[in-house]
Structure 1
Amino acid sequence: MRCVSRLGAAMGVTASLGLGLTGQAMAAEGMWMPQQLPQIAKDLKQAGLQLDPAKLTQLTEFPMGAVISLGGCTASFVSPQGLVVTNHHCAYDSIQYNSTVQRDLLKNGFLAAGLTDELPASPGSRVFVTVDVSDVTAKVVDTKAQRLNGKARFDAIEANEKALTAACEKDPGHRCNVASFYGGLQYQLIKQIEIRDVRLVHAPALGVGLFGGDTDNWMWPRHTGDYSFFRAYVGPDGKPADFSPANKPYQARHFLKLATQPLNEGDFVMVTGYPGRTNRHRLPAELDFTFGWAQPQRIQWMGEQLALIKEATAGRREAEIALAPRVAGIGNYYKNFQGQQASYEGSDILARKSQAFAELKAWVNADADRRASYGTDISKVEGLLAQEQAVARAEALLRYTSPGMLNAARTLYENAQQQALPDAQRKPGFQARDEKHLVQGLEAIDKRYDERVDKRLAAHFLTQYLAQPAVQLNAPLLAALGLAAGMDEAAIQARLDTVYAGSKLAHGADRMAWLKRDVASFKASDDSFIKAAVALYDDDQARETRDKDITGQISQAYAATMRALIAFKASKGEAVYPDANSTLRVAFGQVQGRKNALDGVDWEAFTTLRGIVAKHKGEGEFNAPAEQLAAIRARQFGPYGVAKLDSVPVNFLATLDTTGGNSGSPVLNDRAELVGLLFDGTLDSVIDSWDFDARKSRSICLDARYMLWQMSAVDKAQRLLKEMGAQ
């Protein structure tokens, strides 16, 4: 399943490759900003789009006005009553949050009988509806910021961004953010309606929504019903409001309609969504560091986390439910990174990137004006990246060693420090605009924390950390937790037992009470994790200042490097688009299988219900519900069967350029009708985040006909089907 992956700030642009949509279908590279689509209108029309491409630039009109963000996943309105469809794995947190051992919605699924039965989504859930986008580059990097460097530049840009968002959010009910494009060359202010009352409406059983589990994740053929439904609610006055029984469904101005014509192989499709991050024009030094050291380390540590959690939750269903979102998230990254690493190792990616960067530098050095404009910064950027990477190597394990409640204590103490400042001077995440999100995040811990697992993980990684040479260790951390270099795991575990026993932060009421306390109260506390957070504060701030200084220097040098790259590409007549950065994008392609695929066989474009029966084992990851199996065996296909397939299509492959954050994105046909939901990619194409390969790139999509069949024949969700116009 797709997820947002950020291994650092992705900076850069990539050239528009030949789209190759005539004859043998190839993946069309490009996650295009809506305002760029007129530039590729000819390609879109040639590929099969029936709409005027200019209509896709209008974010508050159809169809773009129906596409929304969940803050990490994409979704879309599918009825005028605020009904929202997205992936099952995007709703997983909310399904888990409402689950108990007695009412296991994760396992059995959920269907609200009526509006009053719809359940509040997990704390912090949001629906963001984009209403305006404007260029604010000159206001973010103003004349003052241009004269600064390092942390001073970082702080000046951050202050300008905060001022812009504060002015934008004077319009109640909206959330505004400044997004950076082309490595800091361009900034946009994005204004969105922030709907805070989000409710879970329907989710299929785990044996449908997560059929195949980790085994099938990133694989083809696939048979996963990765869909769920939310509903957006607003206050009686029609404006965003916190949850209340008096609230009413949001009246969506635009919503997607179900396809009125069958989807076949070769058909045009496009995807609109919020892809999180691509890294296709990272510099060679970054590529080498990521795949040569950082990512192999992450893969190792993720595998250890998964094994430890499995061991520590065995036989404890309550703990399994609590840790389910964490396990799913780690497992998703784990397999994704393994796929990336396998594609990278033995490839010529680094050699090609190095050659391309050498060509850029040669072009810059061939002209005096270009040398004056770009030369110094290009020379500086690699040295600055080396500094950043040295810090990353030294502190990589630190993020794994901090107990969960120590992290909560650090957040609470930082909040107390920030609340003593004027709002405009507070750090992002601790301003008045962030209060609800902060509160809900701390509340959610109650449903997602297990002390036994937390302590086991902390002891395991602290053992590795303390085995390093003493000179490499963070002395304030050791002092705060009462640890010493070279301690074995048993001694660490004993010390942690004492620290955990000395804190009440695991109790929700005690934890939430600290949100109202001042700095003096923290300093006077005997709570062990609060005391540790206070003791670590100065060191945390010093490391943050160091990181901001390096980031400020890198961003300035990187921006000039990207300006050089854009000019270089323009000199060859090549169009460019910015790397994905969680802003609204459009990609297009075709429904298409693949010859001589990863396993050496041809991949068909569609899978069918037959594959569910063939894979079903009655347990574990391949455990389809009995009601579903009965409907399949009885051939109750209804209007969703396809004669050519002699079944109902389940999933399909498409040549769509997508990445993490596209999860839940609506897949639209040539008339912008809903034909499916994007939910994954294939394992050997996850490297596309770094190096696009048109021959291999495929996205895996849920076929809307399978979703509708499951809702009709198995889950009896006729109320929702009628609301969407399916009946």
Structure 2
Amino acid sequence: MKKLLVSVALAAAFGAHADEGMWQPYQLPAMADELKAKGLEIDAKSISKLTEFPMNAVISLGGCTASFVSPKGLVVTNHHCAYGSIQYNSTPEKNLLKDGFLAKNYGEELPATPGSRIYVTEAVTNVTGEVKAGLENKVGNDFYQGIEAKEKQLVAQCEADDGYRCQVYSFHGGLEYYLVKQLEIRDVRLVYNPAASVGKYGGDIDNWMWPRHTGDFSFYRGYVSKDGKPADFSKDNVPYEPKSFLKVSAKGVSDGDFVMVAGYPGRTNRYRTANEVENQFEWAYPEGKMLRERFIEIIKETAPEGSDERIKYESLIAGLANYAKNFTSMIEFYGKSTMLDDRKAREAALTAWINKDSKRQAQYGQTMAELDKLIKESQEHQARDIILGYIGYTTMLPTARSLYRLANEKQLDDMAREPGYQDRDMTRFKSGLERIDRRYAPSVDKAVVLDLLSRYAKLPSEERIPELDKAFGIGKKFDAAKLSKVLDKMYAKTELGDKATRLAWMDKSVADFKASKDPFIQFAVAMYDTDMAQEKKEKELYGKLMKVRPQYMDAIIAYNKELGKPVYADANSSLRVTVGHVKGYSPQDGLVAVPFTRLEGIVAKDTGEDPFDAPKKQLELIKQKQYGDYYVKSIDSVPVNFLSTLDTTGGNSGSPTLNGRAELVGLLFDGVYESIIGDWGYDTDTNRSIQVDSRYMLWVMKYLDHADNLLAEMEIVH
């Protein structure tokens, strides 16, 4: 019934709001006529079928999107999505980040970061009834645990088929649940990445900005065993042969053309309450921006540029900087917008609609008040929670805690364990421990922990945690020098920096941990009971929210249906489709941004210094007007990046941008500065996604990096 309700509301309003919305594939057939009118040439039903072209060519990397572009498992994604693997294989002597990398044959391809995966979605099943059955009268922690138990049971049944990874996703705040089944390719290899002076041209300065001239693309390849099954890395493995792959267009797109994206957007918040909006923009974003920027400063102060320590943290710096700028834009545009007033007005209108009908009053009358009460409760300790949360970005403290948690969880039956500590999670858990070698430097880790604990120590006494204070010797009067000495001693004595030692702890008992003299292990043991008590309290609150928020979303869906407005679920990292057009925009009064940038823009920006230091060979090719097969008369050059009205967010990075025939015409990699706030609400005038043009990608591959072997492997449409 809910699916029908959503589809009816969607079909009624799609024509007026088509560019807004991250649609679940099953919703697309209801849009068929409108999609065709906008420029879709393939059957809309095919986009809803995950085992057919083009959807089975679109894949997840577990944080980014990618797509198959050859019959031999060649995968294209963003440079910044492959950044961790490029960094992992880089050293000061052989810096693939700086110089680029191209494997001329299978044997030269490099293993990606440990734990890298390619996920091919094969089925999405509505399991709402199974998940909620028998839990109608449960509340709080009992409800939370009940939902979790049902999800684990469904996942276990799904993963009985070897080589699959399954997960239950909640939609509309828990109104609906879907089981997603994905083939999990475990042998992932780095094939090609352009130099950072192409793939990250403009760096943090140009991040979220337009005009843009970034070659944000790289290639992986998926490998499987000789019998075609997912397998761990082996020299005997062979390239995976996907059921379909995308053709790459050398013709590209023009201003006004239809485009669509299939991908895995991370999180949006378009149905959050006014109280949540106010707290997020007026407290959480400013605080998070400050902490991220300080984190970056500490890394740069502690690890000299070009050093092995700095290389280890380049990927983290990029991620921190990306969201620091994201938060800056959020704060700026919130200050200029009427978002808070709009949310308050929306809630007032919803309340009035509920109160007009006695049946609606009985169903939803207390929902808003209950939701607001629980939201305020969740914010009570946020000043402490955000500091302790950022400690999660460090290495030694979270590693020790996770290892000790594993030892405790392994005393339970597998199905009774916390998600993340079940047998199905052990390969991923181990890979996380292995990755530490190329992502950890004691000097940096200690400096960040010292800064965060110093902030924690200044909190009011009632916000402090006695066990944490005791572990680090933090007294009523804070002594920074004393804390620094405590940390110096901990980092000097720990053996968790050694990979073999870390991995060995995966098999040790609770008794072994309690007997350990390692200072970080001792910390984890000392904090365990407190951590578990806090987790139980959080689950109690979250269990209550899991009951109330679906009621709120049910009311919004019913209300929007009456208004004829589109209804789509907030992004939650599951597969979605968005549609739009190639289109510029006006960022401010008196300025109009055209939808394409050109090769000549690279030369105009170039300073010879990072991040505007294009390769000399590239600059020379541009000056010689070496456009080759990719020249576009309307712009008198080769297009580099282009804008579209596609409704996207983080997680969509690497998504294939497709034309009406489902040919790859670009890779989505960013949004304009003005559209960052789009996570909270889509604006037709300012929401613009940024794509690297397929013609620029092919131009770089052919004329700059001579990736002829890959060009020959792909099917290129002229």
Contact 2:9 2:561 (C-alpha < 8 Å) held by counterparts: no
| Counterpart pick for 1:224 among 200, 214, 217 | 214
Structure 1 segment 405-484 matched on structure 2, within 5 A: 405-484=396-475
| Aligned: 1:492 with 2:491 | no
Task: Indicate the residue corresponding to 1:52 in structure 2.
Answer: 43
Aligned: 1:250 with 2:240: yes
TM-score calculated relative to the size of structure 1: 0.95
Decide which of 148, 151, 154 is 1:158's aligned counterpart: 148
Cross-structure match for 2:175: 185
Q: Where does 1:673-712 land on structure 2 (aligned, <5 Å)?
A: 673-712=663-702
Letter in 2 for 1:336: N
Q: Secondary structure at the match of 2:336?
A: coil
Give yes or no for the alignment of 1:284 onto 2:260: no
Does residue 1:336 correspond to 2:329, yes or no?
no
CA contact (8 A) 2:250 2:630 kept: no
Match for 1:645 among 623, 631, 635?
A: 635
The structure 2 residue matched to 1:241, chosen from 225, 231, 248, is 231
Q: Following TM superposition, by how much is the alpha carbon of 1:632 offset from its aligned partner in structure 2, in angstroms?
A: 1.4
1:522 to 469, 489, 513: 513
1:468 deviation in Å? Answer: 2.1
Moved more, 498-507 or 463-472: 463-472
Q: For each residue in 1:635-666, what CA deviation from the matched residue of structure 2 results, as whole angstroms up to 9, or x when unmatched?
A: 21110111222211100001110011000000
CA contact (8 A) 1:657 1:697 kept: yes
- Secondary structure of the residue aligned to 2:625 is coil
CA distance in 2, matches of 1:464, 1:353: 33
Alignment of 1:235-384 (within 5 A): 235-259=225-249, 261-315=251-305, 317-384=307-374
CA distance in 2, matches of 1:565, 1:324: 43
Which of 194, 207, 230 is residue 184 of structure 2 equivalent to? 194
Cα distance in 1 for partners of 2:574, 2:592 equals 35
Equivalent in the alignment of 1:558 = 549
**Residue aligning to 1:619:** 609
The one-letter amino acid paired with 1:45 is K
Structure 1 residue 260, shift from structure 2 partner: 6.0
Greater Cα shift, 492-501 or 181-190: 492-501
Deviations 1:132-187 (A, max 9, x none): 111100111112x1110000000000000000000000000000100111111111
How far is 1:401 from its partner?
Answer: 4.5
Q: Deviations over 1:235-256 (max 9, x none)?
A: 1110000000000000111100
- Any idea what the Cα deviations from partners look like across 1:519-539, whole Å, max 9, x if unmatched? 110001111000010000000
Gaps of 5+ in 1: 1-11
- For 1:652 and 1:305, locate their aligned partners in 2 and report how far apart those are by CA, in whole Å: 33
TM-score normalised over the length of structure 2? 0.97
Shift, 1:598, TM fit = 4.2
Q: Which stretch has the larger CA shift, 482-491 or 458-467?
A: 482-491
Write the mapping of 1:571-720 to structure 2, written as runs, cut at 5 A: 571-594=562-585, 596-598=586-588, 600-720=590-710
Inter-partner Cα distance in structure 1 for 2:678 and 2:13: 16
Whole-angstrom distance in 2 between the partners of 1:15 and 1:608: 41
Q: 636-645 or 380-389, which moves further after superposition?
A: 636-645
In structure 1, give the amino acid aligned to 2:499. Answer: G
Deviations 1:174-229 (A, max 9, x none): 00100111111111111010000000000000000000000000000000000000
Asked whether the 8 Å contact 1:13–1:182 carries over to 2, the reply is no
Q: Which amino acid aligns with 2:330?
A: Q
> Which shifted more, 485-494 or 71-80?
485-494
Structure 2 distance, partners of 1:349, 1:528, is 48
SS in structure 2 of the partner of residue 133 of structure 1: strand
- In 2, Cα distance between equivalents of 1:418 and 1:512: 17
Q: Is the 8 A contact 1:483 1:495 kept in 2?
A: no
Amino acid of the structure 1 residue aligned with 2:120: V
* Partner secondary structure for residue 710 of structure 1: helix
Larger deviation, residues 355-364 vs 532-541:
355-364
User: 1:274·1:661 contact (CA, 8 Å) conserved in 2?
Assistant: yes
The letter of the residue matching 1:658 is T
**Contact 1:13–1:280 at 8 Å: present in 2 too?**
no
Aligned to 2:197: 207
8 A contact 2:187–2:232 mirrored in 1: yes
CA distance in 1, matches of 2:687, 2:255: 16
Provide the aligned C-alpha RMSD in A.
1.7
Question: What SS does the aligned partner of 1:263 have?
Answer: coil
Indicate the residue corresponding to 1:102 in structure 2. 93
User: CA deviation digits over 1:526-555, x for unaligned, max 9?
Assistant: 110000100000000011001000000011
Q: Classify 1:629/1:665 alpha carbon distance in 2 versus 1 (closer, same or farther; 3 Å).
A: same
- Quick check: 1:68–1:130 contact (8 Å CA) kept in 2? yes
Deviation at 1:394, TM superposition (A): 3.7
Compute the displacement of 1:359 (Å): 1.2
> Measured at CA, do residues 531 and 432 of structure 1 come closer, stay the same or move farther in structure 2, by a change above 3 Å?
same
The alpha-carbon deviation at position 483 of structure 1 amounts to: 2.4
Are 2:535 and 1:544 aligned?
Answer: yes
Counterparts of 2:459 and 2:22, CA distance in 1 = 43
Q: Report the CA distance shift for 1:146/1:536 in structure 2 as closer, same or farther (over 3 A).
A: same
Contact 2:276–2:375, Cα closer than 8 Å, also in 1? yes
Q: CA deviation at 1:572?
A: 2.5
Match of 1:9 in 2: none
Deviations 1:37-73 (A, max 9, x none): 1222222111111112111111110111100000110
C-alpha distance in structure 2 between counterparts of 1:170 and 1:534, whole Å = 35
- Alpha-carbon contact 1:123-1:440 (below 8 Å) kept: yes
TM-aligned CA deviation for residue 590 of structure 1: 0.8
Do the aligned partners of 1:13 and 1:579 also contact (CA within 8 Å) in 2? no
* C-alpha distance after superposition, 1:330-374 (max 9, x if no partner): 000000111111110132110010110111112112222112112
Tell me which moved more, 255-264 or 456-465: 255-264
SS at match of 1:480: helix
Contact kept in structure 2, 1:13 and 1:281, CA below 8 Å: no
1:396 CA drift (Å): 2.1
Measure how far apart 1:573 and its partner are: 3.2
Sequence identity (%): 49
1:3 matched residue in structure 2: none
Once residues 636 and 486 of structure 1 are traced to their aligned partners in structure 2, the CA distance between those partners, rounded to angstroms, is 68
User: 1:27, 1:656 within 8 Å by CA — same for their partners in 2?
Assistant: no
Contact 1:278–1:689 (8 Å) recurs in 2 = yes
Partner of 2:117: 126
SS at match of 2:526: helix
Amino acid aligned to 2:461: A
Report runs of 4+ in structure 1 exceeding 4 Å deviation.
12-21
Secondary structure class of the residue paired with 2:192: strand
Deviation of 1:577 after TM superposition, in Å, equals: 1.1
Q: Distance in 1 between matches of 2:563 and 2:402?
A: 49
SS at match of 1:390: coil
The count of aligned residue pairs is 710
Q: Distance in 1 between the 2:589 and 2:184 partners?
A: 44
Q: 466, 490, 493: which is aligned to 1:502?
A: 493
What letter is aligned with 1:264? S
Kept in 1, the 8 Å contact 2:247–2:716? The answer is: no
Q: In structure 2, list runs of 5 or more residues that go unmatched.
A: 1-5
Query: How far did residue 565 of structure 1 move?
Result: 1.2
